[in-house]
């Protein structure tokens, strides 16, 4: 493990108010996104949309890394350029989703355990050769009756830590993603409680595996009310409870926290990040690693038609810029177009 270069990549990714585009939807998930605009889930459609995002002029001022699905890492444009080369040529780090998805957990099948540890170190070596410099593994924690169980939190935390160690041994910066889902009618206080317990368990396991904390990024959920909870936390409550939860559980050696959007609207995700950064200095940089909250409007602008590329570029550029502003507390809804 080359600690110096891991720490450099991790801190570069969150430097200068930049963040990550999560464009690593699995092929079935990408199918759901394409269905929203009435398009078929073909390799060409997946490529064309992602290519439009990557080749957006100037996006590199706001985006430092892009998480790719395996297909995209080796995919080529119609002119034969590898998509990941477009990113590299702009100084944007290519990343790779390495988990094999969340599957029903033995003993508690309503909960999920993320798989993918088998052969992971060898895969990471290959991804590095293909240009990847960071990786992602997503664990999901569900809130519900008698859930999450301690076993589910522990097993997911343990897998995240083993993944993180394998990545660092192969010189990839691991993005450690424990996501407490928004699904359900639970209160924001319940989300706080489960998130704090989950994040603390994750850091215990990272310590057990000897993971080098300056060479990771944490990708957590924000502390929010369940989607179906009648009382929704307002912007400042979300920001305050999220920062409080992270201060209670995340060591200061971690260089950056890059939030997922998890089903928040584009503007909510930007407003929440902005509110947290307006609260002043934190021990770690607070940035974004959004999927839906960076792509939704761009996907509709593209609409499956490359005649709409100019609008797609403009819409994606705008969203990326708004989130970059939120990284230093300079976003305002009045900047929306």
148 binds ligand 13P (CB under 6 A): no
Distances (CA, A) of 239 to 57, 270, 280, 297: 32, 11, 12, 24
Distances (CA, A) of 307 to 49, 217, 301: 12, 37, 10
Comparing CB distances to ligand 13P, the nearer of 176 and 194 is 176
Closest distance of CB 269 from ligand 13P, Å: 7
Distance CA 51, CA 325 (A): 24
Q: Which residue has the tokens 């770690």?
A: 284
When binding is defined by CB under 6 A, the residue of 45, 225, 261, 287 that contacts ligand 13P is 261
Segment interacting with ligand 13P, rule: CB under 6 A, options 85-93, 248-256, 285-293, 300-308: 285-293
291 binds ligand 13P (CB under 6 A): yes
Q: DSSP for 169-192, please give it.
A: HTT-EEEEEEEE---SS--HHHHH
33 binds ligand 13P (CB under 6 A): no
Closest distance of CB 3 from ligand 13P, Å: 26
Distance CA 214, CA 2 (A): 12
102 binds ligand 13P (CB under 6 A): no
191 burial level (CB within 10 Å; 0-12, 13-18, 19+):
buried
182 binds ligand 13P (CB under 6 A): no
50 binds ligand 13P (CB under 6 A): no
**Nearest Cα to 173, choosing from 161, 164, 181?**
164
96 binds ligand 13P (CB under 6 A): no
Asked whether 184 and 228 are in contact (CB, 8 A), the reply is yes
Closest distance of CB 79 from ligand 13P, Å: 28
Size of the site for ligand 13P (CB under 6 A): 10
Binding mask 203-232 for ligand 13P (x = CB under 6 A): ------------------------------
Comparing CB distances to ligand 13P, the nearer of 36 and 208 is 36
Asked whether 108 and 115 are in contact (CB, 8 A), the reply is no
Q: DSSP for 122-178, please give it.
A: HHHHHHHHTT--EEEEEEEE--BTTBS-HHHHHHHHHHHHHHHHHHHHTT-EEEEEE
135 binds ligand 13P (CB under 6 A): no
Asked whether 92 and 80 are in contact (CB, 8 A), the reply is no
134 binds ligand 13P (CB under 6 A): no
Token pair for 126: 């290959």
Comparing CB distances to ligand 13P, the nearer of 22 and 322 is 22
Closest distance of CB 15 from ligand 13P, Å: 20
Q: Decide if 44 is catalytic.
A: no
In DSSP terms, 258 is beta-bridged to 287
Residues 296-325 that bind ligand 13P (CB under 6 A): none
**Candidate list 97, 112, 197, 219, residue with the active-site label:** 219
Token pair for 86: 């477009």
Q: Decide if 177 is catalytic.
A: yes
**Candidate list 55, 177, 196, 266, residue with the active-site label:** 177
Comparing CB distances to ligand 13P, the nearer of 114 and 201 is 114
178 binds ligand 13P (CB under 6 A): no
When binding is defined by CB under 6 A, the residue of 69, 290, 302, 316 that contacts ligand 13P is 290
When binding is defined by CB under 6 A, the residue of 293, 315, 322, 326 that contacts ligand 13P is 293
302 burial level (CB within 10 Å; 0-12, 13-18, 19+):
buried
327 binds ligand 13P (CB under 6 A): no
- Enumerate the active-site residues: 177, 219
Name the site residues for ligand 13P (rule: CB under 6 A): 22, 138, 177, 260-262, 290-293
């Amino acid at each position: 493990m080359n600690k110096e270069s891991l720490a450099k990549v991790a801190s570069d990714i969150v430097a200068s108010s930049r963040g990550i585009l999560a464009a690593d939807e699995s092929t079935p998930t990408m199918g759901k996104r394409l269905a929203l605009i009435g398009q078929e889930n073909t390799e060409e459609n997946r490529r064309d949309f992602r290519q439009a995002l990557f080749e957006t002029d100037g996006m590199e001022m706001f985006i430092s890394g892009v998480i790719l699905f395996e297909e995209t890492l080796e995919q080529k444009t119609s002119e034969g350029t590898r998509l990941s080369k477009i990113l590299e040529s702009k100084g944007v780090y290519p990343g790779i989703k390495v988990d094999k998805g969340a599957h029903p957990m033995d003993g508690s099948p309503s909960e999920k355990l993320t798989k993918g540890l088998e052969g992971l170190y060898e895969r990471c070596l290959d991804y590095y050769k293909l240009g990847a410099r960071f990786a992602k593994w997503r664990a999901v924690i569900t809130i519900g009756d008698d859930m999450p169980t301690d076993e589910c939190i522990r097993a997911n935390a343990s897998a995240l830590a083993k993944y993180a160690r394998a990545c660092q041994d192969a010189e990839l910066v691991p993005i450690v993603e424990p996501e407490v889902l928004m699904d359900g009618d639970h209160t924001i206080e319940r989300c706080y409680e489960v998130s704090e317990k989950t994040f603390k368990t994750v850091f215990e396991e990272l310590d057990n595996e000897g993971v080098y904390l300056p060479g990771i990024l944490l990708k957590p959920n924000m502390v929010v009310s369940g989607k179906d909870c009648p009382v929704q936390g307002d912007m400042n409550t979300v920001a305050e409870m999220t920062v409080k939860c992270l201060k209670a559980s995340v060591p200061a050696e971690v260089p950056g926290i890059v939030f997922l959007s998890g089903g928040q609207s584009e503007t909510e995700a930007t407003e929440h990040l902005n509110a947290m950064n307006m609260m002043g200095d934190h021990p770690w940089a607070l940035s974004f690693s959004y999927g839906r909250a960076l792509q939704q409007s761009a996907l509709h602008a593209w609409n499956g038609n490359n005649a709409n590329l100019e609008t797609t570029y403009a819409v994606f550029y705008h969203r990326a810029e708004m989130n970059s502003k939120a990284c230093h507390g300079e976003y305002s809804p009045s900047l929306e177009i």
